[in-house]
Amino acid sequence: MKPRRLHHAALLTCLLAGGLGCSGPGDKVASRYPVDTTTIGPGQQLESAPGWHQDAVIYHIWVKAFADGVYGDGIGDLPGIQGKLDYLQALGVNALWLSPIFECDYKGDNMHGYDTTDYYAINNRFGTRADLKSLIDALHARGMRILFDFVPNHTSTKHPWFTSAATRDSWYLWKTDQPAGWGLPWGGGTPQDVWKSGGNTYFYTSFATDSLADLNFYNPDVQTEMRKVQAFWLDRGFDGLRMDAVRYLCEAGPGRQADLADTHGRLQAFRTLLDEYSSGDLHPHPGGDPARHSAKVMIAEAWTNDASGVAPYYGNGTNEFHLCLDFSAPWAISNTITKGDATQLTSLWEFEQSTYPAGYRSATFDSNHDNLISRPGSQYGGSKAKIILAEALTLLSPGTPILYYGNEVGMSGQSGTDLNLRQPMDWAAVAAQSAQPDSILSWCKYLIQARKAYPALRGGYATLSTDAGPAKALAYLRDGGTERVLVVANLTASTQTVVVSGLSSHGVPASGPVQAILGDLKGVSALAGDTFTAASLPPHGVRVLYVAGSGFQSTLHGDLP
């Protein structure tokens, strides 16, 4: 059994005070650590220009499942992550997003951490603040970054704010009678789903459970305290955050429970605070150059399958989120591979490019911790070629890719229950695949290496036509400056030759040379005028080809056998 690692003096104080002050509501009660910035060390934070997220490959870790460190109880923790940094750096990722690490109520098999009981304390199953500081320091020493999962919309009903008379009534949403006309904020449902009995009154919960209660973001004290939480952890060296359930911060009545203008106002206040770190107006870096400051990044979980519904969460492109998780992408990628239809995916990328504000960046992923879609290892029936193609479409997408732990080795995980998607990391598969040049893991490394080596793979996007059509092949061009990289994929179970056209209209010299970054040329090393022939492309194979520029480096690997 892992030691509980509690801050005993602070816990005793909270207990004696009936729970008051454990998390510091607004200006009425001080936060537990209101001015403690001692965990920042000289030079700890990376000093780099804003925009690093555009070049990032983010690795999403479900902390409980990833790696047990020094405690030997089989539960993943912060020291366990630190012990795997050699692996993560060799994989090529350069930023980590951790699932919630703060104190929570439920600590059973599917402990998720979205039921916060103390925003200022580390979950005692995961370690201590000293463990966190050690991890942050170690990451920054390697030039890597780290983001925390921030849950401002709701708390556990065991949180002291909810149980204390000082904050209970004004910090949450209450009705004296069971309201009528309400439903779930994303549609459907009944008033009973979102209004739960809290004694003689009813409290509001977006997620249809009496264990969570939505905070009242019309209360200025709530807004102030949540920004204090944000600043508290950014002060301690985090490079940014992923914000949970952002669509639901404000509610204005039945059917007006999501995507309100008031919600965007609250989110923009979070961004304003975040940007002060970049400008140096707030919390300068101890020991660092005062003229240079590490940019912080915000990622939105604005969960909707309608890409147009995501656009408002970028604000004007500079005043809300840097990245929004692209919940349309996993199924678009899946349909490309399993249904042999690239139209949904290319239409999505084109829509985002033409509709979202300048400066937008989608956060592309093919699965995550939620019951959205199966892991690629299950979604594609264990087919190595299909799994690699899914990772290629994720890692070579126009967005910033997020790689969910274990997907790089093809871990299985069938949707239906989210616990299936949160199983222990398969370190045996890592060991086996590390020695195999054609493994899923090796191909993920090649793809990440290619993305990092060629600016075009982090730049613009254009769909290209093929003679096979979108039911059998996918071709698109990535561009950066004068550099152009062509991605061609076979969507069928048979070897086929694919002719790609329209290259010269996107800055590719007619009849110019072609060099293979990934895959084989099969004797075709130049364009034929405006077209290129990808000869004998293997079933569900993908090739990454350098078609313009002067920065070609080398072929990383040939076709998958």
What is the model's pLDDT at position 25?
A: 31
Q: Give residue 137's Cα distance to chain centre.
A: 21
Average pLDDT (539-558) is 98
Give the 3-state secondary structure of residue 130. helix
**33/561: higher pLDDT:** 561
pLDDT tens digits along 391-422: 999 999 999 999 999 999 999 999 999 999 99
CATH class of the domain defined by 459-548: mainly beta
- Measured between alpha carbons, how far is 44 from 87 in angstroms, rounded to an integer? 22
Looking up tokens 């969910």 gives 404
Rg (CA), the chain: 24
| pLDDT over 70 (residue 165) | yes
User: CA torsion sign, 240 to 246 to 249 to 250?
Assistant: positive
Do residues 376 and 367 touch, judged by C-beta distance below 8 A? yes
Give the 3-state secondary structure of residue 192. helix
What is the model's pLDDT at position 141?
A: 85
Q: Give residue 214's Cα distance to chain centre.
A: 23
| pLDDT over 60 (residue 539) | yes
What is the model's pLDDT at position 48?
A: 55
Angle subtended by helix axes 343-355 and 329-338, to nearest 10 = 150
Average pLDDT (314-343) is 97
Question: What does pTM read for this prediction?
Answer: 0.91
* 275-282: long-range pairs with CB below 8 Å, 24+: 277/234, 278/50, 282/231
Q: How far is CA 72 from CA 67, 69, 427, in A?
A: 10, 7, 15
pLDDT tens digits along 437-447: 999 999 999 99
List Cβ neighbours of 17 (8 Å cut-off, separation of 6 or more). none
DSSP conformation letters of 314-346: GTTTTSS-SEEE-TTHHHHHHHHHHS---HHHH
| pLDDT over 50 (residue 10) | no
Q: Nearest-5° angle of CA 501, CA 502, CA 508? A: 110
Residue spans of the domains in the chain: they are 8-154+217-452, 459-548
pLDDT band at 49 (very low <50, low <70, confident <90, very high): low
Structure tokens at 198: 């809290």
Do residues 253 and 310 touch, judged by C-beta distance below 8 A? no
pLDDT band at 46 (very low <50, low <70, confident <90, very high): low
| pLDDT over 50 (residue 462) | yes
Strand 400-404 relative to strand 362-364: parallel, antiparallel, unpaired?
parallel
User: CA torsion sign, 351 to 353 to 358 to 361?
Assistant: positive
Q: Across the chain, what does the average pLDDT equal? A: 90
What is the model's pLDDT at position 278?
A: 64
- Measured between alpha carbons, how far is 541 from 539 in angstroms, rounded to an integer? 5
- Measured between alpha carbons, how far is 81 from 98 in angstroms, rounded to an integer? 10
Cα torsion through 544, 545, 546, 552, rounded to 10: 70
pLDDT tens digits along 484-511: 999 999 999 999 999 999 999 999 999 9
Average pLDDT (329-352) is 97
| pLDDT over 90 (residue 550) | yes
Structure tokens at 465: 């036509």
What is the model's pLDDT at position 390?
A: 99
What is the model's pLDDT at position 416?
A: 94
What is the model's pLDDT at position 13?
A: 31
pLDDT tens digits along 244-301: 999 999 999 999 999 999 999 999 999 999 888 765 544 444 444 444 445 789 999 9
Structure tokens at 32: 């537990």
Give me the CATH code for the 8-154+217-452 domain, please: 3.20.20.80
Do residues 342 and 34 touch, judged by C-beta distance below 8 A? no
Average pLDDT (12-26) is 30
Looking up tokens 């795997």 gives 84
- Measured between alpha carbons, how far is 11 from 18 in angstroms, rounded to an integer? 11
pLDDT band at 173 (very low <50, low <70, confident <90, very high): very high
Strand 102-104 relative to strand 496-501: parallel, antiparallel, unpaired?
unpaired
Give the 3-state secondary structure of residue 461. strand
* Bridge partner residues of 484 (DSSP): 479, 548
- Measured between alpha carbons, how far is 323 from 297 in angstroms, rounded to an integer? 8
What is the model's pLDDT at position 421?
A: 97
pLDDT tens digits along 353-368: 999 999 899 999 999 9
Average pLDDT (144-171) is 96
| pLDDT over 70 (residue 23) | no
- Measured between alpha carbons, how far is 552 from 273 in angstroms, rounded to an integer? 41
What is the model's pLDDT at position 346?
A: 98
| pLDDT over 60 (residue 531) | yes
What percent of the chain has pLDDT above 70?
88
